[in-house]
Structures are given as structure tokens and as C-alpha cells.
Amino acid sequence: MTMTMPSKNDLLSFMRGLRAVREYTPEAVPQTILEEILDVGRWSATASNRQLHEIVVVRDQAVKDQFAAWGAKPAGPAAVALLIVTANDASAFDEGRVAERLALAAKACGLGSCIATLKNEGPEAAKGLLGIPPERRARTLVAIGHTDVAARRALPRAPQARKPMSEFAHWDRY
């Protein structure tokens, strides 16, 4: 059996096409798929390879609803919320990298995802609720689920999803 590798254009289109999905069906995500997504997150590089982050995999609807009430709304309808626990605010860059990788891995598995942040009392309250040590940071989660394609199709189209390249890239000097 010959394996066809995705082309450069396929890979670029896959990366460029990562969107925030907030519309999910109620279908669960199988454990094996979650483990594959988590393994991509585990391989995310960190400064000096410190690997200070861990993930709390939340499938309990009451906890996901609580995350949504704390401002991370996409957690409510998602099948699972992957809460990123890291050392402190100085680890926010590593946290961002792992979040993006988890989202890309979910897309590779045919799932929708949305990065979301706990707001106001959320980060502290979530630590209390889930037994996370108080000195750790737990603010960002990646909501994951099966995309509700019909609900997404019904959304109004964003007129300009991103600013033009001419306002994004500066060549040789600002």
C-alpha cells in the first residue's frame, strides 16, 4: 500500500484554516482520540524544555458549565475542555503554544476546537474546584468537540477575517 503525503499546499491550508469553533454536537470524543490530541500537546516545546504545564481533561458537564459561567463560554457545549495548568504568568508563552497545538491536533482528528480563557474569579475558583495547587496558573482551556456543521453554516460570515498582509508583515524594517 502506498501512502500519499499531504502536499505543501494541503499542509499550509490546514494550518491557515484553523478557526475557533463554538458550535458542537452532543457526541462524545473517544478516549483514544483524546489521547492522540494530548500526545501532540505533550510534545509542544517549552523554554529550556522545562515542561511546566499539565492538562486537566474535563468531561464532567457540571464543571464545563462552570467554566462557561466563568467566561470560557465554548466549554459549555463542547464534549471536553482541556484546562492547561502551568507554573505562573511567566509561562504564558508556553501555554499559548500548547493551546495552539492541541487545537491543531483536534483539527487533524476532524474535530472543532476553541481556545478560551477563564475570567474574573474563574482561574482561582477552578483551581479550588479541581484540586489544582494554589500557586499554579490555570486560566486557558481548549474546548473540543464534533463540529455542528449546520449551526456553523448558519452563522453570519465575517466580512474580513484577518487584516491584509500589507498591514501584517513589514519587510526589513517596520
Ligand X SMILES: Cc1cc2nc3c(=O)[nH]c(=O)nc-3n(C[C@H](O)[C@H](O)[C@H](O)COP(=O)(O)O)c2cc1C
Residues 135-164 that bind ligand X (CB under 6 A): 161
Residue 97 touches ligand X, criterion: CB under 6 A: no
Residue 68 touches ligand X, criterion: CB under 6 A: no
Size of the residue set binding ligand X (CB under 6 A): 11
Question: DSSP character for 70?
Answer: T
H or E element, residue 86:
strand 80-86
CB of 29 to ligand X, least distance (A): 19
Separation of alpha carbons 32 and 122, rounded Å: 29
Residues 25-64 that bind ligand X (CB under 6 A): none
Q: Which is nearer to ligand X, 49 or 168 (CB)?
A: 168
Closest to 61 (Cα-Cα) out of 79, 83, 82, 35: 79
Q: Which is nearer to ligand X, 50 or 119 (CB)?
A: 119
Residue 114 touches ligand X, criterion: CB under 6 A: yes
Q: Which is nearer to ligand X, 4 or 120 (CB)?
A: 120
Separation of alpha carbons 66 and 34, rounded Å: 21
CB of 1 to ligand X, least distance (A): 36
Separation of alpha carbons 75 and 65, rounded Å: 7
- Which amino acid is residue 174, in one-letter code? Y
- Which residue among 73, 97, 136, 152 contacts ligand X (CB under 6 A)? 73
Backbone angles phi, psi at 5, to 5 degrees: -80, 145
Residues 6+ apart with CB under 8 A from 26: 79
- Which residue among 29, 55, 72, 102 contacts ligand X (CB under 6 A)? 72
Site residues, ligand X (CB under 6 A): 19-20, 22, 72-74, 114-117, 161
